[in-house]
Amino acid sequence: MSSGVSPTVLQILEKYNGKRIRAVVERGFGFEGTVVAVSQDPPGLWLSDSEAVIMRATLANPLPQVVGREDRSEIFINLNSVQRIEVLH
């Protein structure tokens, strides 16, 4: 695999099928949605019922909080651009 994403990472992500996640692609921007598929080439996640989210952190609350949302329906996110993945409950 030329992408640099370990097959083990893809196997872990496959366990999240059907779960709602947040994929952070920039410090204050990401996507939330339900994982419907994991792709190997190119390495990525297919999300359904997704939303683009804007996040902000403050000195009083350094953990980023979602401050804005925009519906996106279905989306593909390339894992090479993801900084962090959070499983939402």
Over residues 19-37, the pLDDT tens digits come to 999 999 998 899 999 999 9
CATH class of the domain defined by 7-87 = mainly beta
What's residue 45's pLDDT? 93
Residue 4 has pLDDT above 70, yes or no: no
Domain boundaries along the sequence of the chain: 7-87
Residue type, 6: S
CB–CB of 41/3 below 8 Å? yes
Q: Residue 1: which pLDDT band, with cuts at 50, 70 and 90?
A: very low
CB–CB of 47/77 below 8 Å? yes
Q: What's the order of all strands across the beta sheet hosting 84-87?
A: 65-78, 43-56, 29-40, 20-26, 84-87
Rounded to two decimals, the pTM is: 0.82
pLDDT tens figures, 57-88: 888 888 888 999 999 889 999 999 999 999 99
